[in-house]
Chain A
Amino acid sequence: MARNIGRFLVLIAAALIYSSALASSIFQPISDSHRSAALELFNPLGGSFSSVEKTYEELRTFEVLGIDKRSDISTAACQSVSEILGSSSSTLKDLFYALKVNGILQCGIKEDVFEGVASRLQSVVGGASALLDFYYSVGGLVLIKGQTSKDDLYLSDAEGVFRSIKALSQSDGRWRYNSNNPESSTFAAGLALEALAGIVSLSSSEIDQSLISTTKNDILKLFDSIEKYDDGAFYFDEKLVGAREHQGALSTTSSVVRGLTAFAAVTSGSLNLPSGKILGLAKFFLGIGIPGDAKDLFNQVDSLAFLESNTVSIPLILSLPATVLSLTKKDALKVKVNTVLGSNAPPLTVNLLQVLRSGSKDTSLIESQELKFDPEIAVYTLDAMPKSVDVGKYTFVFEMVLHDSDHKNLYATGGRIRIPIFVTGVIEVDSAEIAVLDSDLGSIETKKKIDLAGENTVSLSANHLQKLRLSFQLSTPLGHAFKPHQAILKLTHETKVEHMFVMGSSGKQFEIILDFLGQVEKFFYLSGRYNVQLAVGDAVMENSFLKAIGHVDLDLPAPPEKAPQPPAQPLDPNLIYGPKAEIAHIFRAPEKLPPKKLSLTFSGLTLLPFLGFLVGLLRLGVNLKNFPSSSVPAVFATLFHLGIAAVLSLYMLFWLKLDLFTTLKALSFLGAFLMFVGHRILSHLASSSSKLKSA
Chain B
Amino acid sequence: MARTTSSDAQALFHSLRSAYTSTPTSLKIIDLYVCFAVFTAIIQVVYMAVVGSFPFNSFLSGVLSCVGTAVLAVCLRIQVNKENKEFKDLAPERAFADFVLCNLVLHLVIMNFLG
Contacts and interface: CB of A to CB of B under 8 A. Distances in A.
A667 B108 contact: yes
Nearest to A690: B91
A644 B100 contact: yes
Contacts of A598: 50-51
Interface in A609-662: 609-610, 612-613, 616-617, 620-622, 644, 647-648, 651-652, 654-655, 660
B51 A620 contact: no
A679 B96 CA distance: 11
Nearest to A612: B36
A592 B52 contact: yes
A682 to B, nearest CB: 4
Contact of A655 (B51, B54, B55, B111): B111
B51 A599 contact: yes
B25 to A, nearest CB: 6
Contacts of A660: 112
Contacts of B91: 686, 689-690
A622 B111 contact: no
A693 to B, nearest CB: 11
Interface residues of A, number: 39
A685 B93 contact: yes
Interface in A660-683: 660, 663, 667, 671, 674, 678-679, 682-683
A622 B29 contact: yes
A605 interface: yes
Interface string B50-72: 11101100000000000000000
B54 to A, nearest CB: 4
Contacts of B108: 651, 654, 663, 667
A442 interface: no
B25 A654 contact: no
Nearest to A610: B36
B13 interface: no
A678 B100 contact: yes
B111 A654 contact: yes
Contact of B39 (A612, A654, A683, A689): A612
A593 interface: yes
B104 interface: yes
B9 interface: no
Contacts of A602: 43-44, 46-47, 50
Nearest to A602: B47
B40 interface: yes
A591 interface: yes
A682 B47 contact: no
Contacts of B107: 648, 651
A683 B94 CA distance: 8
Nearest to B25: A620
Nearest to A679: B97
B109 to A, nearest CB: 10
Contacts of A609: 35-37, 39-40, 43
Contacts of A671: 104
Contacts of B96: 682
B52 A617 contact: no
Given A606-B44, A620-B32, A655-B111, A686 B94 contact: yes
A591 B43 contact: no
A654 B29 CA distance: 30
A617 B93 contact: no
A652 B25 CA distance: 31
A594 interface: yes
B54 A606 contact: no
From A608, A616, A690, name the one whose CB has the most chain B CB atoms within 10 angstroms: A616
A685 B32 CA distance: 23
Interface in B99-115: 100, 104, 107-108, 111-112, 114
A411 B34 CA distance: 125
A593 B40 contact: no
Nearest to B39: A609
B14 interface: no
B111 to A, nearest CB: 4
B88 interface: no
Contact of B43 (A608, A617, A620): A608
B40 A610 contact: yes
B54 A591 contact: yes
B97 A678 contact: yes
B35 A592 contact: no
Given A592-B52, A647-B104, A616 B32 contact: yes
B86 to A, nearest CB: 19
Given A594-B52, A686-B94, A606 B100 contact: no
A521 to B, nearest CB: 66
B17 interface: no
B54 A683 contact: no
Interface of B: 25, 28-29, 32-33, 35-37, 39-40, 43-44, 46-47, 50-52, 54-55, 91-94, 96-97, 100, 104, 107-108, 111-112, 114
Interface of A: 591-594, 598-599, 602, 605-606, 608-610, 612-613, 616-617, 620-622, 644, 647-648, 651-652, 654-655, 660, 663, 667, 671, 674, 678-679, 682-683, 685-686, 689-690
15 contacts: A592-B52, A592-B54, A613-B35, A613-B36, A616-B35, A617-B29, A620-B32, A654-B108, A663-B108, A671-B104, A678-B100, A682-B94, A685-B93, A686-B93, A690-B91
Given A598-B50, A610-B36, A612-B39, 17 more contacts: A591-B55, A592-B52, A594-B51, A602-B50, A605-B43, A608-B39, A608-B43, A612-B36, A616-B36, A622-B29, A644-B100, A644-B104, A651-B111, A654-B112, A655-B111, A671-B104, A682-B96
The 4 closest A-B pairs by CB, nearest first: A609-B39, A613-B36, A682-B93, A594-B51
